[in-house]
Structure 1
């Protein structure tokens, strides 16, 4: 799990840097697909990641309003605020958490259950999905998106016991 969360965080930081070169009106411009725009998508990625971790831990979750974070610096600050709690959870992850159950009561009274491992993989895939959308929008602007390659990011260097 940790490797793919680190991958997502690394790519997200590359997207933030990419955004520094883009006029704010382009970052805020409504687009087809996803949650509707470049900056709003980056906000959504960080918010959803944090929200899932909070609900798995039984901590209060609240829905952030994008209107309060409608510039690049504010989205980065929100992400930086959320990251320590997410990272603590990810770094403490172990096989024993894989089948913990998260139960969610729906408005109709039904209960949906999911395993924590499945939720964690969903969070990883969710971000990868949205960065693919960002890549399409980048190309529409005539700009090269950050690389989505896992290879070459040095992630294996942080794995304990690898190459020993």
Structure 2
């Protein structure tokens, strides 16, 4: 699981670099599917990752919307602010945490219980899902998307020491 978090962080950084070559107008352009724009999708990925970790830690969730982060620089700064806490949580993950229960109250007032391991895997899958959307949008812009290939990124070696 730790390897997939590292994979997502590497891919996200590559998408940020990809965005440097795209106009702000294109990054903010409303698109079909997803959250509407490339930049808002990147914001959403970082927000959701950190928010779930905060819930597992018993801390308050992030409540700000995208309106305050409508530039690549601001989204990157927000991600940089969130990442250390997420990295620390992931680095300290162990098997004893897998079946702990997170209880949340949904918007409709229903009580949900989920195991921590399931939540962590959801966070991983959530980002991979949105990266797929970014890849489609990249082609619409006429650019090659960031490679989603996990192989050859040195992840097994990176995760040996974690």
For 1:80, the equivalent position in structure 2 comes to 80
TM-score by length of 2: 0.96
Q: Deviations over 1:67-124 (max 9, x none)?
A: 1000000000000000000000000000100000000123554311000000000000
Residue 39 (structure 1) aligned with residue 39 (structure 2): yes
Unaligned runs of 5+ in 2: none
Higher mean alpha-carbon deviation, 13-22 vs 150-159, is at 150-159
Query: Does the 8 Å contact 1:69/1:75 carry over to 2?
Result: yes
Query: Does the 8 Å contact 1:47/1:64 carry over to 2?
Result: no
What do you get for the CA RMSD once the two structures are aligned? 1.1
Higher mean alpha-carbon deviation, 152-161 vs 6-15, is at 152-161
For 1:122, the equivalent position in structure 2 comes to 122
For 1:93, the equivalent position in structure 2 comes to 93
TM-score by length of 1: 0.95
Q: Secondary structure at the match of 1:112?
A: strand
Unaligned runs of 5+ in 1: none
For 2:158, the equivalent position in structure 1 comes to 158
